[in-house]
Structure 1
């Protein structure tokens, strides 16, 4: 949602104003605003944040300072001025008449000041000011016809407050008289527009005041600031006032104008259940330091109240700021009371079930930048929020910001903190903003944890992280019915996301991955035991010994390149051997008799079993195939010996060693030169590669060292529980069964807040069959029966019809488990319109309404690339919302009209964006149009792919692989 702000209606250079942080604040706060309820800006200040939300939400604004409440009222309850020119004309007449009359007693002073200012005669001006009567010097005044005192000027019951208090110090004589006259005109003739007119006067006062940076803490020394004195004194208060009022009346009215509520109270007086019954979010931007705000803007309060206050006198005389009595002293700017005051606010909001957003600016570098003037540290504030809202319901976001305070003009680098307390309103999720965020995000699978294992079609963790953070609240239950590598569940239970997670899979390996990673923090001495294991592993290097033809000494083989003409045969032809020895680090040799004997050794297996493979020619497994056919005899022997060493360790350390072994098994078999892991049961016939397992395993073990601190940092509180009822933030429930078989006992209906999943894609990744590689070595079992897949293996009976039938059973289950109006995020990509139609039909039949899709780039794809035209590189995230009834379409358009609309949209996209690839056309609008209009069924009956339509109406540029 676009943030419209009265950008030109800035009244003050307000200390800590959020005008420059509007986008950061708006986008982070909006999801926490509860439907149909108001925002309470409880320390409104200059009303910058109230202003941000005025067009889209009802706003309550409060500030203990009178002037701040006036500004808030002017902005939020904007006056409806129909005849602006008539009003301005009336103001001019009233002002001219008033100032002519009010100037009479001091006309000589006014004339002398104008003359001194015109000639910039400093000595003359100062002499004039020294002779001018004020309440501070008690000289004789023509206004009162007596020595000037507070009681004397007050008894006139006229408007000479600024003329007698602040002329010659903060303002010039004519400027002070202008302020008095404008206030008199407002209070006597224009009370209907009082807050608007006073706010414009505040602006003029701020622009003309003779003090530092536009604040009013104390007047500047004229001797030290002569040039600035003349600049400021020459400013015309009335002209500045009218200029600002013209800006004000040009701003369109808000639909909530007149309905917003303004308070002028100590914030604790507002902590009332009746008021809070209509408050959906409290925004709190409290004072941060021990510097009292009231001293910076005391003149505005004097103008607003206009009560001729008594003068503040200390033992040293009048204060430098020429303060008057009654100036408010905030407890929030006092160290002894600030923390308790904020705790009262946080506690009340939490118990009232009201969301709270706290803004707080704090130094970026606490070592270098002073924090001694802060009344509460940012860490204390976050802890208070967590105390009452719990860890799971507190989210802290930051933005770098250069803050200029009023004490010195140099900027300080601070972090602007937003402490978001409570639950997001998922109805407020800005899908367009989410799409933009994901489109600008570079997908990543690389961190210490995910790099520690290998799994097919693993998704980018930062994409998943963003979906979870945007579409659920802390403490919510996130579910993945196809667990796989565990990205959804592992991201959900990270400390910074603090969700509950449920993952389900049919096979051992996915659960083994998650369980092992989440056990790392509980296993002692991991690194020490791994180092001991490496020492034992080194005793197996003799398997890879070879004779160096140069120095005739023993070297170590790193890899062997050979041909194996028959997959099931034993014959191999060695082409080259790469090795290292003392005379060379990159030796290459031809094989001798000993090399053939070593690579072809007949393994005596003690630990490797169940080696028969399921026939499926599509994944290169032949009839009567065996795991031994895809390993060299040497590497099978080494693996068996490794398993013997592993078995000597404790059970917990065994699991870590087996986990690391699992991550390299695809490299231990016969591979090609690219070590392709996408086809784990395939081997080439030529240029086969045998790698040194000891080298690979040792490197992977050392990389695992990085996992240990990573898990401690990100998963301190994370653990696996045994039942849904035991779930809490950072806890995970893992189920092992077909998701189609999940029961009410496993997960209660309406027990899930968000689903993020990556279902199997027809026949593209045959997970259970691929896992045949792992069972002989690690005893990780697989479930062929319940797998939702299309397989050409004759013994499996896994057809496309069976696939969609089981997939519908899963989404039927998901429909019962997911709460209404919550989101399902589904990774899916296919150019086949029939597949799209089947999938969307299943989801809509089970009450999932399509919202949008988002293209996610990636460099490597497991998809079968049929042709550059038809391949859809990357992924598409489909987002659905759970409804209460099946989705039905009544599309009346015939196929020719649908085709016309699609090609018209495609041409428009190409014209607007330039040449586009097939996935860009699919993902950036065309599929959305087809699905949301209910056209997919009709179009899929005629076309198998949108490419068939593009071919007829667009031009394919094979050099760029794009349509134009």
Structure 2
């Protein structure tokens, strides 16, 4: 058991699936690199890792590869079949030999159904694809187009069906299917497009069933072996492409392109493609062989269980070191209703009654109430089997409030403590698409729960406390976003905040928008919420989100990689730091990134004359008043945050005259008159000491800390002001702190190390980068850093 105090908190970019996970279709398969990262973080070698909804087996397989002891559990024997065969080792030579044997046998028995005449050389050719159109009036299917391949002249052609093409199909229609094939009824479900009385066999035309039934018989006649198992796996993996579920579409001017089973449900397109089923089987075997190129030498590390997640009878209490799981997302994927396509051929029974799911099927009685009941029992069971002070990671991606509430409340009411949540971004190709205009942040939420050493009775406050929490969270998000935020942006922050504090159930029956309307104004034209009261004053209470994003980008670019940076180098730290309501929209990231860098050959390089802001406030030709306001708000917000930290440490606070003139909020927390023992009021004014941005001081101890925030003014401007105070009080070692954007760090270092400036300032000098300041302000807010260590954590001494 690994002792973990702080849960995993980094955003991770999902890699594309490795070849072993591409052998067989499965829904919502989690990225293996992400699962592996979590397992490595939360466990040691030989620890026991459980996934109660293990599905296609990613958690168990990745845990086993890391030399952990994995427990695979899933209600579905079909899912277990897919997972086991994903990691089962085979003799590839034997597999290929059996494959060829099956192919030759089935080809001999079924080639008459696909034999035609080549229109180029009049030799015997083979039908590879047939495109069908369902005619609604007659309720019949019309053969529209045939694709053939001729071995004699190597000709491949698309053509209008000939008499020979039609004859071959009619032969299959009239001849009786001799071998067994599944004829089970499917579960009626309008959402999945399964009609009353629909059978599995209805998903195939008769010619496909001739071929599939013979392939299956040939496989089942083999002696038991891993190779036979993987041939069955190859067969089930090829079924969808041999069915009527294959749409025909046009792409880039090319007509009659063949698709795949990518549409949710069992949608049989009006225009579909019948692919030669034997070809489907052989083509799928190529993917299987690629997936089996690497031997899996950790099979013994996995125990296989097929039972309900709410009744883990084979697992003793307090025996599991870590649980990683991806529970069913309400009605997103009714797994068993989908799996009937494969289970029927495998002759497996599916336990529909105990599936944790919301289904639109009227026959199943699987509604939100049943879903919540079973999910509650599941988390109670997970709490039972997990060791004390160990961790449960739950992945989730569902926007329905009821489903979200069912998950969170079930976990918390079972005794788990909600510690944090992380984003997992979609894979590299998609992450590049994130920066397209108008795009939005995509990905899953991974929630880390902890089982405490003893069960805690969690107090649930009254509704007014909940609503106050909503107001606090919303105001923070609106202020950080420059005074306006969309409902979606607010909802992200509100839901996670309420969830973490176990408050969600209190508002499940309320509309969040109605609650927001009591405190904030909604702009219908822009679709955003605004502050109703003290807007201008409140804008300095939090550091603007754009400033925070800018600091992260500067921090990355300051590493000076000559080869350039991947997009993920920016996205990962941004999404790690700024989550939920603070998660930036990709438009914001794009605008800031493109100001500072340019893309070349997929890499981002810093612009040669990059500046954090477009110009200096003091240049005469500056004309954009909105940009001036933006910079001033940022400048004042940083002063405000640092002043609050000083107040918490019992310092008196002085804020510069210029800043106080422009901000009521800054005036409120600053003393009215700066008084320094040994320095007259006139000297303070004439030497411009009273214009220093921020001073923390304790007059009784003779302690002073000076802060200048240099986001827009010339660095040289602040040096005389600072030097004046250190000169007036030479007997004190007054530390000077300069807060700067990361991208002007080198410029600042050079300025303060200039010999002429060194003479002016003899006190200890420190630089504080934006990125360090912002990160540690968040740590302080979340009580992850001691207040007395705050300055030492953010300041870097200049020697």
- Pairing of 1:530-679 with structure 2 (within 5 A): 530-536=99-105, 538-539=107-108, 540-565=110-135, 571-581=140-150, 582-583=152-153, 585-599=155-169, 601-602=172-173, 603-652=176-225, 653-670=227-244, 671-673=246-248, 675-678=259-262
- Pairing of 1:438-457 with structure 2 (within 5 A): 439=11, 441-457=12-28
Q: Residue 792 of structure 1 corresponds to which residue in structure 2?
A: 360
Superposed displacement of residue 612, structure 1: 2.1
Aligned-partner SS, 1:706: helix
Superposed displacement of residue 561, structure 1: 1.8
Q: Residue 481 of structure 1 corresponds to which residue in structure 2?
A: 52
- Pairing of 1:782-861 with structure 2 (within 5 A): 782-858=350-426
Q: RCO higher in 1 or 2 (8 Å CA, sep ≥ 6)?
A: 2
Which of 705, 708, 718 is the equivalent residue of 2:299? 718
After superposition, the Cα gap between the structure-2 partners of 1:886 and 1:572, relative to the gap in structure 1 and judged at 3 Å, is farther
When structure 1 is superposed on structure 2, of 636-645 and 868-877 the one drifting more is: 868-877
CA contact (8 A) 1:548 1:554 kept: yes
Superposed displacement of residue 953, structure 1: 6.3
Q: Structure 2: how far apart are the matches of 1:801 and 1:597?
A: 54
After superposition, the Cα gap between the structure-2 partners of 1:869 and 1:879, relative to the gap in structure 1 and judged at 3 Å, is farther
Superposed displacement of residue 895, structure 1: 5.7
CA contact (8 A) 1:426 1:471 kept: yes
Q: Structure 2: how far apart are the matches of 1:948 and 1:590?
A: 62
CA contact (8 A) 2:310 2:381 kept: yes
After superposition, the Cα gap between the structure-2 partners of 1:538 and 1:610, relative to the gap in structure 1 and judged at 3 Å, is closer
After superposition, the Cα gap between the structure-2 partners of 1:738 and 1:945, relative to the gap in structure 1 and judged at 3 Å, is farther
Q: Structure 2: how far apart are the matches of 1:606 and 1:895?
A: 64
Superposed displacement of residue 948, structure 1: 8.6
Q: Structure 2: how far apart are the matches of 1:929 and 1:617?
A: 36
Give the total of aligned pairs.
505
Superposed displacement of residue 565, structure 1: 3.9
Deviations 1:676-707 (A, max 9, x none): 53557523342211112222221221232233
1:739 corresponds to 2:320: no
Q: Residue 684 of structure 1 corresponds to which residue in structure 2?
A: 268
When structure 1 is superposed on structure 2, of 515-524 and 473-482 the one drifting more is: 515-524
Superposed displacement of residue 879, structure 1: 1.0
Superposed displacement of residue 915, structure 1: 9.1
Q: Residue 509 of structure 2 corresponds to which residue in structure 1?
A: 941
Normalised by the size of structure 1, how large is the TM-score? 0.48
Q: Structure 1: how far apart are the matches of 2:513 and 2:131?
A: 42
Deviations 1:848-906 (A, max 9, x none): 11111122233799xxxxxx999984321111111222452444644653342232232
Q: Structure 1: how far apart are the matches of 2:527 and 2:67?
A: 47
After superposition, the Cα gap between the structure-2 partners of 1:466 and 1:922, relative to the gap in structure 1 and judged at 3 Å, is farther
Q: Residue 683 of structure 2 corresponds to which residue in structure 1?
A: none
After superposition, the Cα gap between the structure-2 partners of 1:842 and 1:905, relative to the gap in structure 1 and judged at 3 Å, is same
After superposition, the Cα gap between the structure-2 partners of 1:466 and 1:938, relative to the gap in structure 1 and judged at 3 Å, is same
1:766 corresponds to 2:334: yes
Q: CA RMSD in A?
A: 3.5
Superposed displacement of residue 547, structure 1: 2.7
Q: Structure 2: how far apart are the matches of 1:753 and 1:478?
A: 6
Q: Structure 1: how far apart are the matches of 2:211 and 2:461?
A: 64
Deviations 1:171-217 (A, max 9, x none): xxxxxxxxxxxxxxxxxxxxxxxxxxxxxxxxxxxxxxxxxxxxxxx
After superposition, the Cα gap between the structure-2 partners of 1:833 and 1:624, relative to the gap in structure 1 and judged at 3 Å, is closer
CA contact (8 A) 1:829 1:872 kept: no
**Structure of higher CA gyration radius:** 1
After superposition, the Cα gap between the structure-2 partners of 1:839 and 1:562, relative to the gap in structure 1 and judged at 3 Å, is same
Q: Residue 271 of structure 1 corresponds to which residue in structure 2?
A: none
CA contact (8 A) 2:380 2:414 kept: yes
When structure 1 is superposed on structure 2, of 760-769 and 902-911 the one drifting more is: 902-911
Q: Structure 2: how far apart are the matches of 1:798 and 1:517?
A: 30
Q: What residue ranges of structure 2 are gaps of 5+ in the alignment? A: 249-257, 431-436, 529-584, 590-799
Superposed displacement of residue 623, structure 1: 1.2
CA contact (8 A) 1:738 1:786 kept: yes
CA contact (8 A) 1:837 1:936 kept: yes
CA contact (8 A) 1:478 1:489 kept: yes
Aligned-partner SS, 1:696: helix
Normalised by the size of structure 2, how large is the TM-score? 0.58
Q: Residue 362 of structure 1 corresponds to which residue in structure 2?
A: none
